[in-house]
Structure 1
Amino acid sequence: MTLPIGGISIPSFPTAPDMSGIGGIGGTSAATGAPPVSTGDNGFADILTGAIDNVQGAQSKADGLAVQAATGDLKDVHDYMIAAQEASLTTEMFVTIKNKAVEAFTEIMRMPV
């Protein structure tokens, strides 16, 4: 899927990896890696809530593994490193999308009526 902007075709945002099997974190579709789309009246709100839950889940998994690493209960340190990187990337992607949405809203508000 591409987003046409002023004659330039920009690829859409990459989808997050499927994390449904990682510590009970859900909210992504196994087939596409994209969050499930609701067909109800609150579709955007449901997607936004799912994205926030996904970020919180990734951060809590990384935090749990960090505690295990600090107490010496973690057998594979690479599990913590992977979870920490996933949490970091998920947070960075969410913040970037939020900033772009705010920027778009601000630009729309500047348009003369």
Structure 2
Amino acid sequence: MTSPISGLSLPGFPTVGALGGVDGPTAAAPATTSASGEGFAAALTGALDELGSLQSAKDQLAVQAATGDLRDVHDYMIAAQESSVATEMVVTFKNKAVEAFTEIMRMPV
């Protein structure tokens, strides 16, 4: 039995497919729109907005499950897993950005 789980898509980042692979022509980082980093800021803001919407959908399904209004428990489990994976991905991006900033600050001028 196969499940039609769509890939996780965050604005500005490659789509992560259902099997953990990266979909799209390349897995390279998205190009920034200007030298000031507005592209990264927009991508990060979009990712956080998407994360918030995934978490709110999970919360709504959790309330439905608690009240007995949820017909399929699978919907809640899928939403909870999608929210968890998105949270891990955003935290990983944040950690890598902080790590890169720290490394840049260590460089001698």
Normalising by the residue count of structure 1, what TM-score does the alignment of the two structures yield?
0.66
Instruction: After TM superposition, list the pairs within 5 Å mapping 1:14-53 onto structure 2.
Output: 17-18=8-9, 28=11, 33=15, 39=33, 42-53=38-49
Structure 1: any 5+ residue segments left out of the alignment? 1-15, 19-26
Match of 2:98 in 1: 102
Find the aligned partners of 2:31 and 2:55 in 1 and give their Cα distance: 23
- Equivalent position of 1:61 in the other structure: 57
1:35-92 alpha-carbon deviations (Å, 9 max, x no partner): x988477322211110000110110000000000000000000000000000000000
C-alpha deviations, 1:6-58, integer Å up to 9, x for none?
xxxxxxxxxx524xxxxxxxx659xx748x98847732221111000011011
Cα distance 1:103–1:39, how it changes in 2: closer, same or farther (>3 A)?
closer
Amino acid at match of 2:65: A
Distance 1:102-1:33 versus aligned 2 partners, 3 A rule? same
Counterpart code for 1:45: A
Unaligned runs of 5+ in 2: 1-6, 17-29
Structure 2 residue 73 is matched with structure 1 residue 82: no
Residue equivalent to 1:23: none
Count of residue pairs brought into register by the alignment: 87
1:73 and 2:69 are equivalent in the alignment = yes
Change (3 A) 1:89 1:106: same
Determine what percentage of the aligned residue pairs are the same residue: 64
How large is the Cα RMSD of the aligned pairs? Answer: 2.5
8 Å contact kept, 2:51–2:87:
yes
